[in-house]
Amino acid sequence: MDTAPALRRIATISLHTSPLAQPGTGDAGGMNVYIDQTTRRLAARGIEVEVFTRATSAHQEPVTEVAPGVLVRHIVAGPFGGLDKDQLPGELCSFTAGVLRAEARRDPGHYDLLHAHYWLSGQVGYLAKDRWGVPLVFTAHTLAKVKNAALAQGDRPEPRGRLLGEEQVVAEADRLVANTSAEARELVDLYRADPARVDVVPPGVDLDVFRPAPDRRAARAAARSELGLPADDRIVVFAGRVQPLKAPDVLVSALAVLLARHPDEPWRLVVVGGRSGGSTENNWLVDLAEQLGVRDHVDVRPPVPAAQLARVFTAADLVAVPSHNESFGLVALEAQATGTPVVAAAVGGLTTAVAGEISGVLVDGHDPADWATALARVALDPALAARMGEAAARHAARFSWEVTVDGLIDSYTRAVAAVRSDSVRREQAGWFLGGHVDRARTTPGRILQAGR
């Protein structure tokens, strides 16, 4: 599809986390991977992308080119360093001013479209879209009403300010991109989104990095040797931020059950990730392991780049994703792409990311005893694990970032066409500026606003 006439340049808003950040640290996770992978592939197709994110260090360059056609702009808004998400709304005004100031230095019509990720960015996006006269596409990644309905024990509910903010963005966006059909239904049912404006575009996986080995057994042995893991252990891997929402504590508790039920088996839980909010310590999880007497069976490691994470997945007997809620669950897809079966919670997008009873096992609820049963079922049955591993690689191969970008371009094209068509109708009716149209500022479809 020739997209050049309709899409030349896109502004992407990612206020609270940069695509340059290491997933698994602070607030970086699947959204960072999503933005990084899709922007690179959009640029490879001739569509330039500029990503606006909040500067977190005085040493960051104002503009960083991460790939040909992809720029990351660091906007100074508030103090440098990590801020909790509940502190970020206070920086919306200064961040928005920085975004608008950067665009004001450009010629009219510099951007064809805005794509905002997460509700905070959506707040910036729906102000900028009117200023620039371009369509807004919004991807929530997580929804507060869904999260509050499935809170982990000890987790705080999302504040009313976020609930209202999400409702505003959903109402103002020209198109909404949902990761799954389930998320699309949630947008319609919980946020009263117009179904005609919702596009389902599943995320993908980098199949060049996460791929199965021809000889699974040999590859697992080599990966374990490389990573310093015991050759004969029953290894369960958890990868992601160490926070209640992701539920790694369920796996630690399940590990205690496994050791009681199968005392002769060498169980090991490998946790790859850091805590949310900027801390790299995992004390609360380690404390739980000590309380349950399983500390010697828990291996906590820092987050690693994608290529190394693929090696960790290859080393595992299985990967566990026990989250209380996931809009999709990229980790599950990446693990399956290496040929490793996944045991995941039957929530949200995980029911799409994992083919239950084919590429892995979906567990209802978060009872450690149930999780222990599911983990043992796969880990202690080599024939089942092998079948699921082969099916996992086939299942993951259906998802690629190229397919994701195809869907995004379709959504973008519809958004631009609708806004431009509406602009033409309004121009013909003489609605701009009380009957006068400044054509120099409305190309393509840009509205001149007073005080610019």
Domain assignment present for 448: no
Given pLDDT bands bounded at 50, 70 and 90, which one contains residue 277?
low
Q: Using one digit for the tens of pLDDT, what is the confidence trace for 110-120?
A: 999 999 999 99
180-186-190 Cα angle (round to 5): 165
> The pTM is what?
0.89
**Distance between CA atoms of 396 and 206, rounded to whole angstroms?**
10
pLDDT at 431: 54
Domain assignment present for 452: no
293 marked ligand binding residue: no
Together in a domain, 28 and 156: yes
32 marked ligand binding residue: yes
Together in a domain, 237 and 145: no
In terms of phi and psi (left: phi > 0; alpha: psi -120 to 50; beta: otherwise), the region of 228 is left
User: Of 20-29, 238-247, 412-421, where does mean pLDDT reach its minimum?
Assistant: 20-29
Helix, strand or coil, per DSSP, at residue 1: coil
Domain termination site, one of 379, 396, 413:
396
Tokens representing 142 are 């997580």
Helix, strand or coil, per DSSP, at residue 107: coil
Together in a domain, 131 and 185: yes
Q: Contact, 55 vs 76, CB < 8 A?
A: yes
Nearest Cα to Cα of residue 230 among 159, 185, 296: 296
**Distance between CA atoms of 99 and 91, rounded to whole angstroms?**
12
pLDDT > 60? residue 278: no
Q: Using one digit for the tens of pLDDT, what is the confidence trace for 21-49?
A: 877 666 667 899 999 999 999 999 999 99
Q: Contact, 195 vs 149, CB < 8 A?
A: no
Interval 180-197 mean pLDDT: 97
pLDDT at 26: 67
Domain termination site, one of 363, 380, 396:
396
334 marked ligand binding residue: yes
304 marked ligand binding residue: yes
pLDDT > 60? residue 220: yes
Domain assignment present for 173: yes
Domain assignment present for 286: yes
Together in a domain, 241 and 330: yes
Q: Using one digit for the tens of pLDDT, what is the confidence trace for 286-295?
A: 999 999 999 9
pLDDT > 50? residue 146: yes
Together in a domain, 165 and 223: no
Domain assignment present for 379: yes
Tokens representing 422 are 């509406």
23 marked ligand binding residue: yes
Domain assignment present for 451: no
Together in a domain, 84 and 128: yes
30 marked ligand binding residue: yes
Q: Using one digit for the tens of pLDDT, what is the confidence trace for 223-237?
A: 999 999 999 999 999
314 marked ligand binding residue: no
Helix (H) or strand (E) holding 357: none
Given pLDDT bands bounded at 50, 70 and 90, which one contains residue 197?
very high
pLDDT > 80? residue 451: no
pLDDT at 252: 98
Together in a domain, 370 and 409: no
Helix (H) or strand (E) holding 340: none
Q: Using one digit for the tens of pLDDT, what is the confidence trace for 329-374?
A: 999 999 999 999 999 999 999 999 999 999 999 999 999 999 999 9
pLDDT > 70? residue 16: yes
283 marked ligand binding residue: no
pLDDT at 256: 98
Tokens representing 174 are 């020209």
pLDDT averaged over every residue in the chain: 90
Q: What helix, strand, coil percent values describe the chain, rounded to 5?
A: 45, 15, 40
Q: What single string gives the DSSP state of each residue in 214-240?
A: SSHHHHHHHHHHHHT--TT-EEEEEES
17 marked ligand binding residue: no
388 marked ligand binding residue: no
420 marked ligand binding residue: no
The DSSP symbol for 90 reads G
328 marked ligand binding residue: no
pLDDT at 276: 65
Together in a domain, 57 and 194: yes
pLDDT at 50: 98
Domain assignment present for 209: no
Q: How far is CA 276 from the centre of its chain?
A: 14
Together in a domain, 13 and 112: yes
| Number of residues assigned to the chain | 452
Interval 194-205 mean pLDDT: 97
162 marked ligand binding residue: yes
pLDDT at 428: 66
pLDDT above 90 coverage of the chain, percent: 77
Domain boundaries, position 42: 9-204+401-441
Together in a domain, 118 and 153: yes
User: Of 99-113, 180-194, 209-223, 305-319, where does mean pLDDT reach its minimum?
Assistant: 99-113
Domain assignment present for 354: yes
297 marked ligand binding residue: no
85 marked ligand binding residue: yes
pLDDT at 238: 98
Cβ count near 192 (within 10 Å): 10
Kindly report the CATH number assigned to the domain that includes residue 37: 3.40.50.2000
Together in a domain, 231 and 151: no
183 marked ligand binding residue: no
Q: How far is CA 182 from the centre of its chain?
A: 16
Q: Using one digit for the tens of pLDDT, what is the confidence trace for 147-156?
A: 999 888 878 8
Look up residue 245 and give its amino acid: L
Look up residue 176 and give its amino acid: L
28 marked ligand binding residue: yes
Bond from prior residue into 214 cis (ω within 30 degrees of 0): no
Q: Contact, 297 vs 259, CB < 8 A?
A: yes
Together in a domain, 243 and 363: yes
pLDDT at 330: 95
Q: Using one digit for the tens of pLDDT, what is the confidence trace for 428-439?
A: 676 555 554 443
Cβ count near 119 (within 10 Å): 28
The DSSP symbol for 89 reads G
Domain count, the chain: 2
**Distance between CA atoms of 397 and 374, rounded to whole angstroms?**
24
Nearest Cα to Cα of residue 176 among 216, 145, 205, 143: 143
**Distance between CA atoms of 119 and 429, rounded to whole angstroms?**
34
Q: Contact, 419 vs 445, CB < 8 A?
A: yes
Interval 283-311 mean pLDDT: 96
